[in-house]
Amino acid sequence: MNIETLFYLFAAVTVFAALRVITARNPLHAVLFLVLAFVSSAGIWLLLEAEFLAIALVLVYVGAVMVLFLFVVMMLDINIEQLRVGFLRWLPVGLLLAAVIGVQMVWVLGAPEIGAGKTPVVHAADYSNTKELGRLIYTDYVYPFELAAVILLVAMVAAIALTLRRRRDAKRQDIGQQVKVRKEDRLRIVSVPSANQAGDAQDVVVSGEHAAD
Amino acid sequence: MELLQTLQQTGLDLFGSAWLPIWTLVKIVLIIAPLMLGVAYLTLAERKVLGFMQIRPGPNRVGWWGLMQPIADGVKLLCKEIIIPTGANKFLFIAAPALALAPALAAWSVIPFGDGLILADVNAGLLFLLAMTSLGVYGIIIAGWASNSKYAFLGALRSAAQIVSYELAMGFALVCVLLAAQSMNLGEIVRGQQSGYGLFGWYFIPLFPMFVVYFIAGVAETNRSPFDLAEGESEIVAGFHVEYSGMGFALFFLAEYANMMLIAILTAVMFLGGWLNPFHGWPLLGALTDAIPGLFWLLGKMSFMLFVFLWFRATFPRYRYDQLMRLGWKVFIPLTLVWVVVVATWMQTPYWLW
């Protein structure tokens, strides 16, 4: 099997999965098809010798982001019939958007500098995509990279700040305090003289009953 | 070696271009078959170790000292009826155990068993491992959802949140390892620990906090006690696999134990010098033990880490859910983040000896 056959195989699976994402009736199935689309596009990236990007795609999107997606979709009580209302009404808008995206893609990919017909450069066996990517990110593109990181950090802090609120009416536990607890604070060992004879033990039980009365 | 070369040559003559896939398949079988056997006997070892720690004999009726117990269990599970609950999503219900087991086995392809003894010598091996271990959660979530059972669903949600949280700490611990080794190739990581001082050259010394964090996160990632809230038999019966019977249940079982062995062997490879001899370069002891093959050391280290897994199970009570989340997010992630910076700075100074 040569690279071209593999490419068309992965591409066909990607397109099919992407189509099923928007046509599947069950939203959970749609999410799982999105996972399939990610995995098969990671396969295409592998064919381009971009193993770092391919594995990062699987690690970040499939391993973390889609798990949370799945999480949310499972928790939602989605009425599919209700979602389908107004499908025809919004169809023209959707088609227009699709057309715009299609034109943009043809425009960009058809540009002579990029050239969709070009075959990818084949590298030597000791070529490391990871090292190359690291070199570019931390030398030539260090400022855009840091900027992107800071923007993501701001978004993260903002999301946490928006959802973090202390409720006065709810009880909460301070786990730090709980962990700090020592045996001596809670437990008191008292020495109780043991009853040596069976008769004495009997007496203790009986007197205990009297006390309860 | 010569035998191997003649085998390669005859294979090439016999099958032509189809030889490479066939040879790879043979190698895969050579990894998977002992792995499955190991899984079977790990279940026995677990029951025996737990038994001895609780002063009772453990299984001792089937075969000699209970040695045939895993076989009997396997046969029993194979013969049992598979029940699909009403209202379950049939396709996903059947696919889920396979989705749990496949990544657990796929990750073994990049494990170096010796110098050059590796199925796929991938440059981004560490990243591949992280990706594969993070995929295992799909089997659990899908099983929980497709079972159409509240208990299973609750177990799946717990497990998903737990695995996603602990993956971060695990990732940062691995970043420290790849900083120290300056490579993501697992073979290179082991070679980076080679020195004339035996076990003092291994990464568990400079990265000791990461060694502890990685192993504990690994216990959490495999849903093992004391982090087995996804199963939590006292609250949610058996969690995500409560509706599974027969072979479906057995596959989840296999996946869990294969993942345990994976975490154990990875701890050995990244922190305990992989196939290296712990006494290499020591006077007398080094010369005596250098002849022992590396595979023996690797399996010995793996067995020790597996024993620690079982030890944990016999020792610690189960974590409460909020304590679990606190440990992952408020203790491990800050600790690992700080240690990444410490290691990166330390490596720039002449005091980095590894």
Rounded Cα distance between B148 and B93, Å, is: 9
* DSSP labels, B2-33: HHHHHHHHHHHHHHGGGHHHHHHHHHHHHHHH
pLDDT band at residue B16 using 50, 70 and 90 as cut-offs = confident
Number of A/B CB contacts below 8 angstroms equals: 65
What is each CA distance from A39 to A7, B96, B296, B348, in whole angstroms? Answer: 13, 17, 37, 38
Closest chain B residue to the Cα of A59, Cα to Cα: B131
Whether A64 sits inside 8 A of B134 (CB atoms) is yes
CA distance A37 to chain B (A): 15
pLDDT for A183-208, tens place per residue?
888 888 888 888 765 555 454 444 44
Of A59, A70, A75, the CB nearest to B130: A59
Is B6 a residue whose pLDDT tops 70? yes
What is each CA distance from A77 to A26, A66, A72, A80, in whole angstroms? Answer: 11, 18, 10, 9
**Within 13 Å, how many C-alpha atoms sit on residue B86's CB side?**
0
pLDDT for A116-147, tens place per residue?
556 666 677 667 777 888 888 888 899 999 99
Closest chain A residue to the Cα of B166, Cα to Cα: A64
Of B134, B153, B156, the CB nearest to A59: B134
Residues B4-15, mean pLDDT to the nearest whole number: 76
CA distance B197 to chain A (A): 30
B319 has a chain A CB within 8 A of its CB? no
Residues A3-31, mean pLDDT to the nearest whole number: 87
B150 has a chain A CB within 8 A of its CB? no
Residues B192 and B202 sit within 8 Å (Cβ to Cβ): no
pLDDT band at residue A149 using 50, 70 and 90 as cut-offs = very high
Token pair listed for B253: 């079982």
Name the percent of chain B in helix, strand, coil, to the closest 5.
Answer: 70, 0, 30
SS3 A120: coil
Q: What is the pLDDT of residue A157?
A: 93
Residues B42 and B306 sit within 8 Å (Cβ to Cβ): yes
Tell me which chain A residues have a C-beta less than 8 angstroms from the C-beta of B134. 59, 62-64, 67
Q: What is the pLDDT of residue A213?
A: 42
pLDDT for A38-61, tens place per residue?
999 998 888 887 888 888 888 888
Residues B303 and B45 sit within 8 Å (Cβ to Cβ): no
Residues B274-292, mean pLDDT to the nearest whole number: 79
Q: What is the pLDDT of residue A117?
A: 59
A128 has a chain B CB within 8 A of its CB? yes
Test the B interface: residue of A65, A71, A156 with most B CBs within 10 Å? A71
Task: Give pTM, 2 decimals.
Answer: 0.83
ipTM: 0.80
Q: What is the pLDDT of residue A212?
A: 42
Is A80 a residue whose pLDDT tops 70? no
- In chain B, the percentage of residues whose pLDDT exceeds 90 is 6
* DSSP labels, B37-72: HHHHHHHHHHHHHHHHHTTS--S-SSSGGGTTHHHH
Rounded Cα distance between A55 and B40, Å, is: 31
Is B352 a residue whose pLDDT tops 80? no
B131 has a chain A CB within 8 A of its CB? yes
A149 has a chain B CB within 8 A of its CB? no
Is A211 a residue whose pLDDT tops 50? no
Q: What is the pLDDT of residue A100?
A: 95
Rounded Cα distance between B2 and B276, Å, is: 25
Is B57 a residue whose pLDDT tops 60? yes
Residues A156-163, mean pLDDT to the nearest whole number: 90
CA distance B88 to chain A (A): 14
Q: Residue B117 pairs with which residues in a beta bridge? A: B114
Rounded Cα distance between B72 and A97, Å, is: 61
Q: What is the pLDDT of residue A120?
A: 63
pLDDT for B300-333, tens place per residue?
889 999 999 899 988 888 888 888 888 888 889 9
